[in-house]
Copies of this chain bind each other. A is one copy, B any other.
Amino acid sequence: MKVAIIGMGLIGGSLALSLKKHRVASHVIGVENNPAHAKIAMQRGLADTMEPLVPAIEKAQIIFLAVPVDVALVLLPLIMPLVKEGQVVSDTGSTKSAICKLADTLPHRPQFVAAHPMWGTENSGPQSASEEAFTGRTLVIGEAEKSGKESRQIIENIYTRLGMPILYMHAADHDLHAAYISHVSHIAAYALANTVLEKERDDDTIFQLASAGFESTVRLAKSHADMWVPIFKQNKENVLDVLNEHISQLRKFKSCLEKENFILLHQLILQANKVRRILK
């Protein structure tokens, strides 16, 4: 199977490696605007060939769109009119409402499958791509009923072969859940990093004192703005709702400390401990 991957970053690169490892793709055509990324993609063998967008689309049976969610909204209208019978287009974006809404207005809607492999790290670029990235993670398919049965089955088969369980969701539900379990975690980490950087002018002390706990909590603060600003923009309403809730939860801790209500503080922590049941 010949596959084109548009965007040879962390996700596109990891997808390329996974498709090859699990012998799903015989040939990966990479499409990448950034010459440094294109070079690494070839050096690491993520792509067999690099091509411009239009010839890549012509040659591939499956076209994966693995670009920031704002870029996806620009590229999808260029891609969909070009697809021929038997070809399938699928995205990997962290938001699903905007792209599904857009896809409904474009030609060959049944040949588009809106998808989100629930994986990422704080790193970016093809240098960070990993061949076991997706295994065991969930693939969300958004608005599955809008995709043709054949196209959907092709995408489902591919991700199933990569070891991913599949979950079907309305795009709006996906975006709400994603705000909770991913988008606001990123804002919390960014804000915590800024809290420390703002006041702790002495880098050396932070570096020496920072223990594993700090590292794990602010890890996501390394994540790339070019990927995350468009996600927050597209999912603004949900992110704001969850962020308000998060600030109000923080205020409860603040109020316990101010009022020296350590009984309630204890209870808030016991409540938070319940997160154990949903973490692996």
The reply to whether the CB of A36 lies closer than 8 angstroms to some CB of chain B is no
**CB–CB A192/B229 < 8 A:** no
Whether the pair A189, B247 counts as a contact (CB closer than 8 A) is no
> In the complex the two chains form, is A279's CB within 8 Å of B195's CB?
no
Minimum CB–CB distance for A245 against chain B, Å = 5
Contact with B along A95-113 (1 / 0, CB 8 A): 0000000000000000000
Q: Does A78 sit within 8 A of B, measured CB to CB?
A: no
Query: Are A242 and B185 in contact (CB-based, < 8 A)?
Result: no
B-side contacts of A239, CB under 8 Å: 257
Cross-chain contact B197 with A213 (CB below 8 angstroms): no
- B211–A220 contact, CB under 8 A? no
Is A21 interfacial (CB 8 A cutoff)? no
**A186 interface residue (CB < 8 Å to B):** yes
Residues A119 and B211 in contact in the complex (CB < 8 Å), given A195-B180, A258-B240? yes
Give the number of chain A interface residues (Cβ < 8 Å).
92
Chain B nearest CB: distance from A239 CB in Å? 6
Say yes or no for A144: interface residue by CB 8 A criterion: no
Judge whether A187 is part of the interface by a CB distance below 8 angstroms: yes
Binds B, one of A1-9, A44-52, A199-207: A199-207
CA distance A233 to B215 in the complex (A): 24
Instruction: Answer whether A217 and B188 are a contact pair too, CB < 8 Å, given A180-B206, A194-B249, A208-B167.
Output: yes
In the complex, the answer to whether B275 meets A218 with C-beta atoms within 8 Å is yes
Q: Report the Cα distance A39→B62, complex, angstroms.
A: 59
Q: Are B247 and A197 in contact (CB under 8 A)?
A: no
Measured between beta carbons, the chain B residues less than 8 angstroms from A25 are none
Known: A188-B188, A254-B240. Is A213-B249 also a contact (CB below 8 A)? no
In the complex, what distance in Å separates the CA atom of A184 from the CA atom of B214? 9
Of the candidates A205, A275, A277, the one having the most CB atoms from chain B within 10 angstroms of its own CB is: A275
CA distance A247 to B118 in the complex (A): 28
A209-B181 contact, Cβ under 8 Å, with A217-B220, A272-B193: yes
Assuming the contacts A203-B278, A254-B247, asked whether A222 and B273 have C-beta atoms less than 8 A apart, the reply is yes
CA distance A270 to B268 in the complex (A): 33
Asked whether, in the complex, the Cβ of B272 is within 8 Å of the Cβ of A257, the reply is no
Q: Which residue of B lies closest to A70 (CB)?
A: B262
Is there a chain B Cβ closer than 8 Å to A28's Cβ? Answer: no
Across-interface contacts of A274 in B (CB, < 8 A) = 193, 197
Determine whether A149 belongs to the interface, using a CB cutoff of 8 Å to chain B: no
Residue-wise, chain A 236-272 has the 8 Å CB interface mask toward B (1 for contact) of 1001101111110111111001101010011011111
CB within 8 Å of B: which residues of A?
A: 118-122, 137-138, 140, 165, 167, 177-178, 180-182, 184-200, 203, 205-225, 228-229, 232-233, 236, 239-240, 242-247, 249-254, 257-258, 260, 262, 265-266, 268-280
